[in-house]
Amino acid sequence: MSLGQQIRAHRLKRGLTQGQLADKLSMTEANISSYERDKSMPPSEVLNKLANILGTSTDILLGRKISIEINGASASKVLKELNELNQQLNVEGVMDYDEPEPEIRAIQRAAKNMSPTDKKKMLNMIKAAFEEAFKGESDDKT
């Protein structure tokens, strides 16, 4: 998109008329029309003001591509890898800790009414009953 097209698109997105934008910039509606039709180019100070009023950057108005890198990888590549990892986790059935199973919620509700000593006893009983599930868990986490 050209500079003029960018200005027009962002102006419309903000719900501004050419006259309203011109008023904010202390210029005439004809100036805005000229910019939007690519008949003239706004001076740099006007371009900066335009970007601020339109809630964008001068880079975007000028059509520059903005690329983001995370540790040397493009943001789109990182996002793709995160999506793939998320799919793998879902396929492998990793439990969503924000939504515990009903049985776990029942234990959590019961634990709210227990003393710290009783909570420790309950955990020890569960650990004893399901040793395999707790393999590798240290006792200091309790």
| pLDDT digits 0-9 by tens, 102-131 | 777 788 788 888 888 888 888 888 888 888
Nearest to 25 by CA among 12, 15, 35: 35
Q: How many CB atoms lie within 10 A of CB 111?
A: 12
Average pLDDT (48-67) is 87
Classify residue 118: in a domain, yes or no: yes
Q: Which tens digits make up the pLDDT trace of 59-77?
A: 889 988 766 666 666 767 7
14 and 56 together in one domain: yes
90 and 107 together in one domain: no
Please report which confidence band the pLDDT of residue 39 belongs to, taking 50, 70 and 90 as the band edges: very high
Output the domain CATH number for residue 51: 1.10.260.40
Classify residue 72: in a domain, yes or no: yes
pLDDT at 2 over 80: yes
19 and 56 together in one domain: yes
Classify residue 141: in a domain, yes or no: no
Classify residue 142: in a domain, yes or no: no
Domain count, the chain: 3
Classify residue 46: in a domain, yes or no: yes
Classify residue 47: in a domain, yes or no: yes
Please report which confidence band the pLDDT of residue 53 belongs to, taking 50, 70 and 90 as the band edges: very high
Strands 69-70 and 73-74: antiparallel
* Cross-strand bridge partners of residue 74: 69
23 and 52 together in one domain: yes
Q: Which domain does 40 fall in, by range?
A: 3-61
Do the Cβ atoms of 90 and 99 come closer than 8 Å? no
CA-to-CA dists, residue 38 to 1, 2, 7, 18, 79, angstroms? 11, 8, 10, 14, 36
